[in-house]
Structure 1
């Protein structure tokens, strides 16, 4: 079964270089995304309470984007990505989050989770 792709946009008052550190480094991700984050090469281990998930870094472009793929979903096309978008005229910065879900109901729940996570990120960086 194919998954449903969705993208969310979050305006953030932060420079792309500063923002990038919060999802391209284990210490940055640990501040807002997971309780603990460990890295071994391109493998990232995210730990929440008693749950542990592993992802691999698929693509990475400094100060612009990073894409992860959960190891448990290797058989499908899904991934999750953080992309920094800067408006060429206003210079406003937005964080674009791309993710996948199994169905509409799961997607709505996942969107709410991302909104809470990004609120935590904004709080962490004071944006």
Structure 2
């Protein structure tokens, strides 16, 4: 198994924290930008893309602040993906911070994938 490094990517978004939290924490919000469709049952989210599906367990959520998931194939490992909302105290700008653990050597493709996903989110938000 290759080493996996924690990566954090920050994106500024023109939206309210409440709207953004809905987009990162609910099946309907996640279906708008992250996956083609999302179902949830007993804290397990099932994400559907082009005929494939992946399951992720909801590890934690903090209202209007953060949501942390772990893919089922990562169970037992100390890796996850997290969406965290940060509000700049001075400017009141809203940022989404994504934490992920790509395989060693996949950091750039991982960043590109998240950037692509965030373009979809910005389009849905009209930002």
Q: Shorter chain as normaliser: what TM range?
A: over 0.9
Q: Is 2:43 the partner of 1:42? A: yes
Structure 2: distance between partners of 1:88 and 1:79: 27
Superposed CA RMSD: 0.8
TM-score, normalised to structure 1's length? 0.96
Q: How many equivalent pairs are there? A: 126
Structure 2: distance between partners of 1:11 and 1:95: 6
Structure 1: distance between partners of 2:5 and 2:74: 14
Q: Match of 2:113?
A: 113
Q: Match of 2:16?
A: 15
Structure 1: distance between partners of 2:19 and 2:79: 27
CA-to-aligned-CA distance 1:21-51 (integer Å, 9 cap, x gap):
0011000000101011010020000010121
Q: How does 1:1-80 map to 2 (within 5 A)?
A: 1=1, 2-80=3-81
TM-score, normalised to structure 2's length? 0.96
Unaligned runs of 5+ in 1: none
Detail structure 1 runs of 4+ shifted over 2 Å in the superposition: none
